[in-house]
């Protein structure tokens, strides 16, 4: 028996479920940004605890999965849109995401100020460019997107040795300054080349959801295992795929952490193998069967952009409230005068223990759930065009 196509079964729960799970995990990293100890690098094995490292490491899965599923969702929308309509939608939504990142979220969520002394080009900025690139690829034969995406993901580490301060290079491959003056700084944290590649591969992945269920699940299982094994084998050689080699550490545990400590900025080949392999195994595990305990994540996965925007605002707002209670003033939470004080200027003694960070994270996710349920119900009831942009 063949599996129903997206046009006959509506949204695919497995896609929404995985997207929702990574959105929940993503909030942990952002909560740590605002409530953790400022200036502490969670992946510096010389200073970070194993618990702090793993708290950061588990969130490594978020961006790769989100970009991958963006491409997959674009392909699935072909059941409702023509390639021309999809191309137009992807281009306009990509522009909208860039505006949200650089204007709306920068001022009203990330930093709570309008001075533009410091601007970080973050995930929505990169996702916007990836969608605009995909708007061109959807007009071409399917193999073009697959080949293009594979070439970017597999080959971009060949450019690791190139050293350049050119702003275009910072936007495309190596994180760096797009603008650096005494008054204003713009820093590109998400170089575009590998993220565009992941999105293109996600678009190609969408084709398997037209296959019979058994064939699709077998493919997801084999591909997920293959990517995970490839990560282990290639990483063990220390030859290619990541600019920083793993090394023997003071204990076996920290040696294992060094093995897992792959480069996210930009995402190396090994970083993507490490994260996307298990993600595909997760898609296999939940294909056609959503565990009851995970259904709240399914709700969040249906409204990812809404969740992303509101949860950032909520985390920062709670930080303002805590700062006000603790210090009698929250002015620090509105100040980001330079890159070292992004996204806010920590007041003296700011920072909480890891258990308290986890507690704040749980509180944020619990508070977000009814808001997401309300917005998901609104999108289901109404078909206004503007709702497709949130």
Residues 6+ positions from 380 with CB-CB distance below 8 Å: none
**Number of CB atoms found within 10 A of residue 162's CB:** 10
pLDDT digits (tens, 9 = 90+) for 25-55: 999 999 999 999 998 899 999 999 999 999 9
The reported pLDDT for the residue numbered 203 is: 97
Mean pLDDT of 164-189: 94
**Burial tier of 137 (Cβ tally within 10 Å: 0-12, 13-18, 19+):** buried
Hey, what are 9's tokens? Answer: 């079964």
What is the 8-class DSSP label of residue 100? I
If we measure between CA atoms, which residue out of 360, 49, 31 comes closest to residue 40?
A: 49
Residue 317 has pLDDT above 50, yes or no: yes
pTM for the whole structure: 0.94
Q: Coil, helix or strand for 195?
A: helix
For residue 2, pLDDT over 50 is answered with: no
Contacts of residues 366-371 at CB distance under 8 Å and 24 or more positions apart, as own/partner, are: 367/314, 368/27, 368/300, 368/307, 368/310, 368/311, 368/314, 369/296, 369/299, 369/300, 371/306, 371/310
Domain boundaries, the chain: 6-389
The pLDDT value given to residue 298: 95
Which one, of 125, 98, 63, lies nearest residue 267 by Cα?
A: 63
Average confidence score pLDDT of the chain: 93
pLDDT over threshold 80, residue 97: yes
Neighbour-count burial for 197-210, b at 16+ CB within 10 Å, e otherwise: bbbbbbbbbbbbbb
Given this model, what pLDDT does residue 76 score? 95
pLDDT of residue 389: 77
Report the pLDDT averaged over residues 278-293: 94
Mean pLDDT of the 215-229 span: 97
Cα–Cα dist 143/235, whole Å: 29
- The answer to whether 173 touches 191, Cβ cutoff 8 Å, is yes
Give the confidence band of 11 by pLDDT, cuts at 50, 70, 90: low
């Amino acid at each position: 028996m063949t599996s129903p196509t997206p046009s006959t079964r509506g949204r695919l729960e497995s896609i929404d479920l995985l997207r929702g799970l990574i959105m929940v995990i993503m909030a942990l990293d952002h909560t740590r940004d605002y409530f953790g100890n400022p200036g502490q690098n969670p992946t510096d094995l010389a200073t970070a605890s194993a618990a702090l490292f793993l708290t950061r490491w588990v969130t490594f899965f978020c961006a790769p999965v989100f970009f991958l599923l963006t491409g997959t969702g674009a392909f699935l929308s072909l059941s409702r849109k023509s390639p021309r309509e999809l191309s137009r939608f992807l281009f306009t939504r990509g522009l909208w995401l860039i505006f949200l990142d650089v204007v709306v979220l920068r001022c009203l969520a990330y930093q709570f100020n309008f001075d533009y002394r410091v601007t970080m080009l973050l995930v929505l900025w990169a996702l916007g460019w990836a969608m605009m690139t995909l708007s061109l690829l959807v007009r071409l034969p399917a193999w073009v997107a697959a080949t293009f995406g594979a070439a970017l993901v597999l080959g971009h580490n060949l450019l690791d040795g190139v050293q350049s301060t050119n702003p275009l290079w910072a936007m495309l491959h190596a994180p760096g300054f797009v603008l650096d003056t005494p008054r204003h700084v713009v820093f590109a944290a998400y170089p575009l080349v590998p993220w565009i590649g992941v999105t293109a591969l996600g678009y190609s992945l969408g084709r398997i959801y037209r296959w019979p269920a058994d064939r699709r699940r077998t493919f997801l299982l084999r591909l997920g295992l293959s990517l995970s094994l490839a990560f282990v084998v290639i990483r063990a050689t220390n030859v290619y795929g990541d600019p920083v080699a793993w090394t023997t550490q003071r204990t076996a545990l920290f040696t294992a952490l060094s093995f897992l400590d792959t480069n996210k900025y930009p995402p190396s080949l090994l970083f993507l193998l490490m994260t996307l392999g298990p993600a595909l195994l997760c898609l296999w595990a939940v294909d056609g069967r959503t565990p009851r305990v995970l259904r709240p994540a399914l709700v969040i996965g249906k409204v990812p952009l809404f969740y992303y925007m509101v949860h950032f605002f909520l985390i920062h707002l709670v930080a303002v409230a805590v700062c006000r209670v603790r210090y009698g003033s929250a002015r620090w939470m509105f100040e980001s005068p330079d890159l070292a004080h992004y996204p806010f200027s920590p007041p003296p003694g700011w920072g909480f223990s890891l258990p308290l960070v986890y507690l704040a994270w749980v509180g944020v996710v619990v508070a977000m759930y009814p808001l997401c349920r309300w917005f998901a119900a609104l999108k289901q009831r109404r078909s206004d065009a503007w709702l497709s942009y949130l």
